[in-house]
Each structure stands twice: as C-alpha cells, then as structure tokens.
Amino acid sequence: MKDYKIYLRRILVVALVIFVCFLLQTSVFSRYILGGVTPNILLCVVSTYGFMKGRRYGILTGFSVGILLDIYSGAYFGMYALIYLYIGFLNGLFKKQFFGDDLRLPMILIGTSDFIYGIISYLTLYFIRGRYELGFYVTNIILPEVVYTLLVSIFVYYIILHINNWVENLEKKGSDRIGTY
C-alpha cells in the first residue's frame, strides 16, 4: 500500500509539472518570441527528469510529453513521442554524473538535446519535402532556439530540482514515520 502511494504521488507530481510546462510553452512563451523562436520548455522537463531520475523516468516523461505534443500539434502522429522518448533515454544515461547544484551538466545536456531535437525536426519535417537549406535552418532556427531554451531552462531546472527534493523529503518523512510505529 505504501509503495502504491509513493508511485501515485510521483506520477501526479510529474504529470502536474508536464501540464504546467505544456501550458506555459503553448500559451505564455508563444507570445514571447525572440529571434523568431520560442523556448522548448517541455524538452527541459524531459531532459531534467532523464538525468535526475534515470532512463526509465526519461523514457516515460519523454513519451508522455511527445504524445501530448502529437495530440496538440503533431504533423505526423507519434513523431514527437519518439523524439522525446529518445531524448529522455539519452539524458537518463547521465544519471550517475548528475549532481543537483552543479549547473554545467544540465545546461550541456539540455542544449545538446535541443540541438538534436532541432536537427531531427529539420530532417523529418523539411528535408524529406525537398528543402535542403540545413545551414539556414541551423543558424536561424536551431541555434537561436537552443540559446533561448538554455536561458529559460535555468529557471525550469531549479524549479524541477526543488520539486523533486520536496517529493523525496516527503517520502523520507513518510518512511521514518512508518518505521517508528
């Protein structure tokens, strides 16, 4: 019974984080366009949960975010789910190198993930249709989005880190109480 409540709490917290970030990305930040791009907050969420919690969390978070984006705006259903799933998996490989207060690894991984996301999006959405301007797309779309995402991800990362620490502290307090009765 105890494990069920812990898993349910974790799922609800991650779902709430995804939902809030989805609303922010599709409503608030779509109004604040800089350089023709908006930040990819959901990619920050997937990357952060991937390297904080491991491959399984990265995969599940990535798939959930991807399906949500496919339902909302997917050109090809399942494309975003697959891209975000792999990004979550790749970030999950770095769980052992993760230290909460060190900002270097998260920023490197989020920036790299956004760059990979941009290249894959270009290949699946433009290159297949005969638009071969990769240099233009990289300099005018991918790199500005990476920079904008990195600026916003500093705040998103710390918020998710504090939420994760709060949930873990609740779990520790709950396990301490159970052991004393």
CA distance 133 to 127: 8
Half-sphere exposure of 88 (CA within 13 A, CB side): 24
pLDDT value at position 33?
A: 86
Q: 45: pLDDT confidence band, cut at 50, 70 and 90?
A: very high
- Assess whether pLDDT exceeds 90 at residue 14: yes
Task: Take residue 181 and report the two structure tokens written for it.
Answer: 């009765």
Which is more confidently placed, 166 or 100? 166
Name the burial class of residue 97, with classes exposed (0-12), middle (13-18) and buried (19+) by CB atoms within 10 angstroms of its CB: exposed
3-class SS string, 28-75: HCCCCCECCECCCHHHHHHHHHHHHHCHHHHHHHHHHHHHHHHHHHCC
pTM listed for this prediction? 0.88
- Assess whether pLDDT exceeds 60 at residue 176: no
Q: 18: pLDDT confidence band, cut at 50, 70 and 90?
A: very high
Q: 170: pLDDT confidence band, cut at 50, 70 and 90?
A: confident
CA dihedral 111, 114, 115, 120 (to 10 degrees): 160
CATH number assigned to the domain covering 2-95+102-175: 1.10.1760.20
pLDDT 10s digits, 111-159:
999 999 999 999 988 888 888 888 999 999 999 999 999 999 999 999 9
- Assess whether pLDDT exceeds 70 at residue 181: no
CA dihedral 20, 25, 30, 31 (to 10 degrees): 40
